[in-house]
Amino acid sequence: MALKRVLRIDDPVDLKVLKTVSRPVKFPNRELKSLVNEMFATMQNGCGVGLAAIQVGVPLQIIVIEIPPTYEKLADGTEKEVAPAVPYVFINPKIVQISRDEVMRLEGCLSLPNWYGQVPRAKWVTVEYQDLSGKPRRLRKADDLLGWALQHEIDHLKGIVFTERLPDPTTLRDYSNEPLPNTAERMEAVGA
């Protein structure tokens, strides 16, 4: 399975594509499963949590998200996986309900590697979408990392990049030569 090149916010030619509003996917679609598999591989290769098809140059309303596994530290210092990674595929997603409460989080993006800034997002969202077969689905009150990643990736489908959501652009920093502030924020800040 081939990895795709992730378009970059800091490249003017790539940014023009990233600012494109994505088209709905029409069913049946024989290439959909292959594209989704390539998107997962590309996202995992970049150590991301989410990826929108437009980020690999495909202007279709497709999002993949993978919530990382959860580990527990044991008394001997080793870690044990207590919950596996959870993959999600959202075709033609729409936010249909949104929390009034917002949470400020350190947010990054695979289209701007190692750069993070403080972005406000709704505490939870309800999303209607289609699965890989085209069947309508609804995910109610997605919160925490899943809810945040959904908002970030749905923005991509609308041609919005996370740097446009920064209320204070001075919070955007390059963390390539330093660790993120703390472990809790690191889990929330994984690039999407």
- In-domain check, residue 7: no
- In-domain check, residue 148: yes
CATH of residue 27: 3.90.45.10
Among 153, 164, 178, 188, which one carries the catalytic annotation?
Answer: 153
**DSSP conformation letters of the chain:** -PPPPPP-TTSHHHHHHHTSPPBPPPSS-TTHHHHHHHHHHHHHHTT-SEEEGGGGT--BSEEEEEEPPEEEE-TTS-EEEEE--EEEEEEEEEEEEE-S-EEEEEEEETTEEEEEEEEEEESEEEEEEE-TT--EEEEEEEEHHHHHHHHHHHHHHTT--GGGG-SSGGG-EE-TTS--S-HHHHHHH---
- In-domain check, residue 3: no
- In-domain check, residue 34: yes
Which pLDDT score, from 0 to 100, does residue 192 have?
A: 63
Summarize pLDDT for 49-69 with one digit per residue, the tens.
999 999 999 999 999 999 999
Interval 77-100 mean pLDDT:
95
- In-domain check, residue 1: no
Which pLDDT score, from 0 to 100, does residue 191 have?
A: 56
Question: How many structural domains are present in the chain?
Answer: 1
Instruction: Note down the domain range covering 155.
Output: 12-189
- Across the chain, mean pLDDT equals 93
Q: Is 164 a catalytic residue?
A: no
pTM for the whole structure: 0.91
Interval 173-177 mean pLDDT:
91
Which pLDDT score, from 0 to 100, does residue 2 have?
A: 87
Summarize pLDDT for 104-153 with one digit per residue, the tens.
999 999 999 999 999 999 999 999 999 999 999 999 999 999 999 999 99
- In-domain check, residue 158: yes
The proportion of the chain whose per-residue pLDDT surpasses 70, expressed as a percent, equals 94
Interval 1-8 mean pLDDT:
92
- In-domain check, residue 16: yes
Task: Give the confidence band of 186 by pLDDT, cuts at 50, 70, 90.
Answer: very low
- In-domain check, residue 20: yes
